[in-house]
Structure 1
Amino acid sequence: MEDKYILSLDIGTSTIRSVIYNSKTDIIGNAFEQVVLHYPKPGFVEVDPDELWQSIVNVVKKSLEDASLSAAQITAMGISTQRSTFITWSRKTGRTFHRFCTWKDIRADKLVTEWNYSYTWKAIKLGAYVLHMVTRNKRFRAGSVMKFTNNQTLLRLCWALQNIPALKNAVQNNDAMFGTLETWLLYKLTGNKVHMSDVSSASATGLFDPFTMQWAGWAMPLFNIPKSILPEVVDNAGEHFTSTVPEIWGHAIPIRSCIADQTASMWGSCCFDTGDVKLTMGTGTFFNINTGRSPHASVSGLYPVVGWRLGDEIVFSAEGGNNDTATIITWAQNIGLFESPADTAEIAMSVPDTDGIYFIPAFSGLGAPYNDCTAAAGFIGIKPSTVKAHLVRAILEAIAFRTVQLYACVRAETNYVFNDIRLDGGVSNNDFIAQLISDLTGLRVERPAQVEMSSLGCAHLVGLQLGIFKSKEKLKSMRKIGTVFTPRPHIKKAYEYTFRRWEEAVNRMCGWYKETQPSTAISDTNDSLTQQDTIKMAAPGEKGDYVK
């Protein structure tokens, strides 16, 4: 029987990857390029759409060459993208009104703060609390504690609608289209034929209500967002994505899946059952638990997202995250704490402890259970005896500690029985972090042979859609585990004091930017920064760019 070939296009925060798999999910072609981030003003983090498009075209060509295949030999492709990065463009001409505003952008920080503390939002949350007390509806419980954050799309889109004149005019003339990255990419790949968002990506924007499975009707009038600019929300697999136009790669390639990167990695890790947990440690840390057919109403800040929808099958995920993981590793390398990320585990183990040093990993604020975008990063406890190895160990411990906190939130809010955590992402290659997570959670931690789970998850979804893989059980049987870390109870006991002191250190850094950040983060009065030409930087290593 002739082999089938699946192409997975995975666009993360740091890298664009094109991976070609055969029917056994062996990688036969692989290529990647760095995503170029632009920082035109303090707080702005952008991607140029023309640069991104050219990189996407190139990386797919390179993967085809690496596999010695032509586009005509690809059975179908799937797409996985970073979430909450958005753009707007003209319905008539297809020209964009601005660059991609990425999920790490904080230009709307002042709006986020104003809305979170506004009387209007407080009244809405109070109303939701009352409704929850009367109806016991989980949707209102979630609404009663909801906070806006910078990594949601909602208020960054609101900022764009208020501050970009060309977009404002286009909205008035019904000439504007909005989309997160996958929406724009599908539009481009199909020759401007479709305007759709896959449901997993839509659910991470803050504009989509997972409890009603529709664009949030309450948000449209409240934030003056016209519904006409929003894409159609579709299932994660099917023929509705159509095909690429032949001109791009020489032959049309059927597109059969599109899914958000974090839920794609759940597919790659075969987290198909309720209670399954995966932990992605790439640019940021994302802790996802399969919550089955019901969205989770969290009070600690876990975010309810749609994992996937395939016809009648709807699976939800509760997600906790920390925005800075590989970004911290890269920063530490840039300031000279070590030469290569591959050395960090050995460096950390070269000292018995941190000598009382604690690191707060909050370059982009802190997620659950703090939910504080004004928290600051930094070291606490530096003394004359401090050496580089203490600082490196403190950084690695902090990454593990944040995961332990996310796990504690899940334990407090659910009744699931947990046995293991399935790792992916480049930072998961660090043995020190992986083992410490196992020790402190008391769970078996599994690291796959290949840590690029979002690419593999795309292939799983495409293959299942086309019948190449007969069932999810078949996919489970094909899963390749590389290294298993088992908990050491004596280590957990030894870390009790250290972890408690670290939490005290974090509390001291919470709210650090509360008075100054909203007014200074995107100030146009800082001539030394805002009048420069755009700064271009390749993003720090994500997922497989970090090696053991």
Structure 2
Amino acid sequence: MGKYIIALDQGTTSSRAIIFDKDHNMVDVAQADLQQFYPQSGWVEQDPMDIWSTQSGVLNQVIAKSGIDVSDIDSIGITNQRETTIIWDRVTGRPIYNAIVWQCRRTAHIAAQLVEDGHAEYIRNNTGLVVDAYFSATKIRWILDKVPGAQQRAERGELMFGTVDAWLIYNLTDRKVHVTDVTNASRTMLFNIHTLEWDQSLLEILNIPQAILPSVISSSEVYGYTNIQGHQVKLAGVAGDQQAALFGQTAFNPGEAKNTYGTGCFVLMNTGTTPVLSQHGLVTTIASSVNGEIHYALEGSIFAAGSIMRWLRDDLNMIATVQESETLANQVKDTQGAVFVPAFSGLGAPYWDMYARGAIHGMSYATGRNHIVRAALESIAYQSHDVLKAMEQDSGYRLTNLQVDGGASSNQFLMQFQADILGIDVNRPTIRESTALGAAFLAGLATGFFTDKKALKSLHSQNTTWTPKMDETTRQTLIKQWQKAVGRSTNWLE
């Protein structure tokens, strides 16, 4: 048996490869930035060949950097940006169009038509999702409509669809394996989370030929091999990035939740082996499938989090670095009444308003740069609060603490404000790479590298805990002010 597992973490803004040992320690990491394209307002694309080349590049780079022997690699786990949609030629392996990224809003009209035609309830009951341009199904439909001859080629079986996990597996296995795991399948708006099969009615409604779809596998099994320097290395674990983070945080029990602060914010709560359909604007998704046992989760997707800080830095020149936001926020005692609603591309859970747009409410002449930066950070915590309260209502579980990870979890101001506005402890683990760690856990469980989930949980440790300091009156006043601001930002576009 090998000594190491490599996690491939293909995210929205970068491709990374991380080597873990048996004690969950990070041995080495390699990273490459990934370019995004914005052909029109609200459109977001990436080059699928760039996704593949950067990911394969960092895989080879991390092995070379670390000096480990390839024969010591037990297996590879994959985690990926979800919903991002790629369609490619079955013979040449070349994409027929750029990857349409999960953030892209170009298919809002297709989603709106599905609702108008009365399909929303069927989609929610069978896929667990709300109808939105966020998910893969409308993106597939758009590509098949817009690329000349694509629909006919798809019907003849000449094309293949995949989310990023499927695209990477296909290339890693030298085009031999076309699969996706249940967690990624559950994000397409085409997968029935009860029967665990592609939903025939939805394929007919959207006129998507089943021939282009990958086979669906569990999150933890050996599904192929990749050749590294002449060695056949197992591909043994795969999960969408947010489900992988939940697994990496060892949130294996119903009622346990995590929040990943990345480009967007993603809150997931494990609800056990029974799916809970939300009555409060959340989606139901598959959390993992290990040893034949499916676990479900409630999820709230927040579209803007870390991207707000990059906007303040790159477009407004309000901060020199993302890290500076913490310093500036701490220089003022509050926001002077300013409330930042970051609906740059609409609002996700629990509002699901594609037509909301960003605004800063409550400004006066006393409002300065520091107040706006602070309000921007606070908006991340407010959005997370709204999602977590909806989860408590849907699931019946009351949160006693929140596990956090992702880049912005290093922002001390934000984490303290998150604890204050939730009124519960916020815990950050020693190893913050929860997403990659989850992929490594899933691969290692499949190969026997890790014994079982109980052993994984026993090694999981907290690095920092933030305890709430805000009084209840202040908390409720701020929440009410936030909700008022959200109400004035919704349904902005006509």
Q: Which has the higher contact order (CA 8 A, sep 6+)?
A: 1
**TM-aligned CA deviation for residue 457 of structure 1:** 0.9
SS of the residue aligned with 1:495?
helix
Corresponding residue for residue 8 of structure 1? 7
1:280 Cα deviation (Å)? 0.5
Q: CA offsets per residue over residues 252-299 of structure 1, 9 Å max, x none?
A: 221111111111111110001111101111011011000100111012
Task: After superposition, give the CA deviation of every residue in 1:219-250 in whole Å (9 maximum; x if it has no partner).
Answer: 111111111111111111112x210134xx54
Partner secondary structure for residue 200 of structure 1: helix
Task: Quote the offset at 1:429 in angstroms.
Answer: 1.0
Among 284, 287, 293, which residue is 1:313 paired with?
293
Question: Match for residue 545 of structure 1?
Answer: none
Equivalent residue, structure 2, for 1:99: 98
Matched, 1:485 2:484: no
User: Aligned letter for 2:168?
Assistant: L
User: C-alpha distance in 1, partners of 2:441/2:130?
Assistant: 34
Deviation at 1:320, TM superposition (A): 0.5
CA drift at 1:43: 2.8
Distance 1:501 1:489, change over 3 A: closer
Identity %: 32
* Conservation of the 8 A alpha-carbon contact between 2:74 and 2:449: no
Q: Partner of 1:61 in structure 2?
A: 60
Q: Which residue of 2 aligns with 1:139?
A: 125
Letter in 1 for 2:167: W
Unmatched tracts of structure 2, length 5 or more: none
Match of 1:361 among 342, 350, 355: 342
Within the candidate set 274, 291, 299, 2:279 is matched to 299
CA distance in 2, matches of 1:7, 1:390: 42
Does residue 414 (structure 1) correspond to residue 395 (structure 2)? The answer is yes
Kindly provide the amino acid, as one letter, of the partner of residue 393 in structure 2.
A
Corresponding position of 1:274:
254
Q: What is aligned with 1:48? A: 47
Q: Is the Cα contact below 8 Å between 1:28 and 1:66 reproduced in 2?
A: no
Stretch moving more, 187-196 or 208-217: 208-217
Partner of 1:449: 430
Q: Distance in 2 between matches of 1:341 and 1:43?
A: 23
- Residue of structure 2 equivalent to 1:17: 16
- Structure 2 equivalent of residue 150 of structure 1: 133
**Superposition map of 1:358-437 within 5 A:** 358-437=339-418
Q: CA deviation at 1:169?
A: 3.5
Partner of 1:530: none
Using the TM superposition, give the Cα deviation of residue 125 of structure 1 relative to its aligned residue in structure 2, in angstroms.
5.1
Mapped to 2, the partners of 1:379 and 1:223 lie a distance apart of 38
1:348-388 C-alpha deviation (Å, 9 max, x unpaired): 12111111111001112112221101110121122211111
DSSP-derived class of the 2:231 partner: coil
Question: After superposition, what is the alpha-carbon deviation per residue over 1:71-117, rounded to whole angstroms, capped at 9, x for unaligned?
Answer: 3331111111111011111222222211111101122122223333x
Residues 125/66 of structure 1: CA separation in 2 closer, same or farther (3 Å cut): closer
In the alignment, the residues of structure 2 paired with residue 207 and residue 314 of structure 1 have an alpha-carbon distance, to the nearest angstrom, of: 18
Partner of 1:255: 235
User: Secondary structure in 2 aligned to 1:38?
Assistant: coil
Where 2:92 maps in the other structure, the secondary structure is coil
Give the match for residue 322 of structure 1. 302
Shift of 1:3: 6.3
Q: Tell me the distance in 1 between the aligned counterparts of 2:41 and 2:337.
A: 33
Q: 2:322 aligns with which of 341, 362, 382?
A: 341
Q: Structure 1 residues 392, 125: closer, same or farther in 2, change over 3 A?
A: closer
User: Matches of 1:100 and 1:125 in 2, distance apart?
Assistant: 26
- Structure-2-length-normalised TM-score: 0.96
Counterpart of 1:476 in structure 2 is 457
Aligned to 2:144: 161
User: Are positions 1:495 and 2:475 aligned together?
Assistant: yes
Residue number in structure 1 paired with 2:158: 175
**Equivalent position amino acid for 2:434 in 1:** M
What is residue 175 of structure 2 aligned with on the other side? Answer: 192
2:226 equivalent to 1:244:
yes
Quick one: which amino acid aligns to residue 86 of structure 1?
A: T
Amino acid at match of 1:93: T
* Distance (whole Å) between structure 1 residues aligned to residue 396 and residue 6 of structure 2: 38
In the alignment, the residues of structure 2 paired with residue 362 and residue 325 of structure 1 have an alpha-carbon distance, to the nearest angstrom, of: 10
Q: In 1, Cα distance between the equivalents of 2:40 and 2:328? A: 36
Secondary structure at the aligned position of 1:254 is classed as strand
Q: Structure 2: which amino acid aligns with 1:302? A: L
What is the total number of aligned residue pairs between the two structures? 493
In structure 1, the residue matched to 2:263 is: 283
Query: Which one is further off, 405-414 or 36-45?
Result: 36-45
Range moving further from structure 2, 77-86 or 362-371: 362-371
Give the equivalent residue in structure 2 for 1:332.
Answer: 312
Task: Pick closer, same or farther for the CA change 1:251–1:112 going to 2, 3 Å.
Answer: same
Gaps of 5+ in 1: 130-137, 516-548
Match of 2:184 in 1: 201
Change (3 A) 1:361 1:166: same
> Which protein is richer in strand relative to its size?
2
Q: Distance in 2 between matches of 1:58 and 1:437?
A: 37
Following the alignment from structure 2 to structure 1, what is the Cα–Cα distance between the partners of residues 71 and 392?
48
The question of whether the paired residues in 1 share the 8 Å contact of 2:130 and 2:283 is answered with no
Helix, strand or coil: the match of 1:341? coil
Distance 1:125 1:281, change over 3 A: closer
AA paired with 2:400? Answer: N
Residue 228 (structure 1) aligns with = 211
Q: Equivalents in 2 of 1:493, 1:473: separation in Å? A: 41
Q: Deviations over 1:290-328 (max 9, x none)?
A: 010011101222111111112321101110111111110
| CA–CA separation in structure 2 for the residues paired with 1:8 and 1:125 | 36
| Structure 1 outlier segments of 4+, above 4 Å | none
What letter is aligned with 2:96? F
1:438-478 alpha-carbon deviations (Å, 9 max, x no partner):
12222211012232111111111222222222221211121
